[in-house]
Amino acid sequence: MSSASLLFSCSMHVGVSHPKLAAKSSVCCLLNQPWNHLKPKASFGHSGVSEKYKLSCKGDEIMWRAGALQVESAPSFSLGQKFQLDDVIEAQQFDRETLNAIFEVARSMESIESNSSRSQMLKGYLMATLFYEPSTRTRLSFESAMKRLGGDVLTTENAREFSSAAKGETLEDTIRTVEGYTDIIVMRHFESGAAKRAAATASIPVINAGDGPGQHPTQALLDVYTIEREIGKLDGIRVGLVGDLANGRTVRSLAYLLAKYEDVKIYFVSPNVVKMKDDIKEYLTSKGVEWEESADLMEVASKCDVVYQTRIQKERFGENIDLYEEARGKYIVNKDVLGVMQKHAVVMHPLPRLDEITVDVDSDPRAAYFRQAKNGLYIRMALLKVLLLGW
């Protein structure tokens, strides 16, 4: 049997790994796709058996390794549809149906995480975390996600200082080097747009873990997942985005995702120096999403299902410390704000916090930010599974 025939036979039985990984192996066939398709789409909804086959091509020789066999229940979303998920770069790339599918995979990951016997779903796979900016929750949750699924991690905590970037190496050269050591790259960078550059360079999946003041799509995914689990719905909700809306990549990505849902209203509450930028307002307007700017946190909190607080980001102000001091401390969520909030409403925060949520709020059941952080593990487990093994 020829190498191409063998690969196609394997794909018919177990599906194929991520399209970029297939392209890296010089293999251009995929279930229900033309043989000469340059960027094949992952087969969405191929279920029943989840058996990890890592395939690579060397001339006419196909090498494959079979991992642990796990039988999974069939998903409730439609079978046979095609969704392309090569990388996770920005919130706009997701449509509502894809979000629902990711959330369903995330719910299945909750049961895997709670099981004392560790999954071997990603055994044999390596993830590189390439972080040019500080991180606690994002980096550790990605590394925990990979290990809980049986994979391994290569990590650099401060790539800006302790990698060849300090010697002047370009991002593109770094990506071309790192992709030779790993199967997927999770990157945080200080420049907006860096994740797009990395994804355009890499032949393996790239996940944007935050690019300067640009976007943080995996945070937005876990935020929407948290809202659904806490409030019980996503259509018809009222969300107040509070704090540093000009520099906060989390609120930008969240606004993009909230626009996917019906009858959503977003309130922007921020100091004048860090108001939400016009591109987000224009995007929401183009999608028919109602938004309103307000200077009254108490009034907004009384109307909202979600009060999404953020810190004023000192690191984005550079030498303009006077502007930072002007913005800091203007809007604080405390017991008084809780007092006007509805009983079902929740307070969220991407963390870390400084003094923008007082610690006495933590004991209130409406304080959802630590549950929100835990949900990041499930979302990131789901993304790693989908990007490396397919749907």
Tell me the pairing of strands 265-269 and 290-294: parallel
The 8 Å CB, 24+ separation contacts for 45-49 are: 45/75, 45/77, 45/78, 45/79, 45/80, 45/81, 45/391, 46/15, 46/79, 46/390, 46/391, 47/72, 47/73, 47/74, 47/75, 47/79, 47/391, 48/72, 48/74, 49/13, 49/14
Tell me the pairing of strands 49-58 and 61-71: antiparallel
Catalytic-role residue among 189, 216, 252, 311? 216
Q: Looking up tokens 């790239």, which residue turns up? A: 206
Token pair recorded at residue 329: 């401390």
Three-state DSSP class for 266? strand
138 labelled catalytic: yes
Catalytic-role residue among 139, 188, 260, 328? 188
Among 302, 309, 352, 306, CA closest to 330? 309
Q: Looking up tokens 């997927």, which residue turns up? A: 184
Could you write out the DSSP letters of every residue in 156-177?
ES-HHHHSGGGGT--HHHHHHH
Contacts of 67 (CB under 8 A, 6+ apart): 51, 52, 53, 54, 120, 121, 122, 123, 124, 150
Q: Are 240 and 304 in contact (CB under 8 A)?
A: yes
Q: How many CB atoms lie within 10 A of CB 141?
A: 23
Give me the count of residues in the chain: 391
Distance from the first to the final alpha carbon of the chain:
28
One-letter amino acid identity for 323? L
Catalytic-role residue among 138, 156, 218, 310? 138
118 labelled catalytic: no
Q: What is the DSSP letter of 331?
A: S
Catalytic-role residue among 137, 281, 316, 353? 137
Query: Catalytic site residues?
Result: 137-138, 167, 188, 216
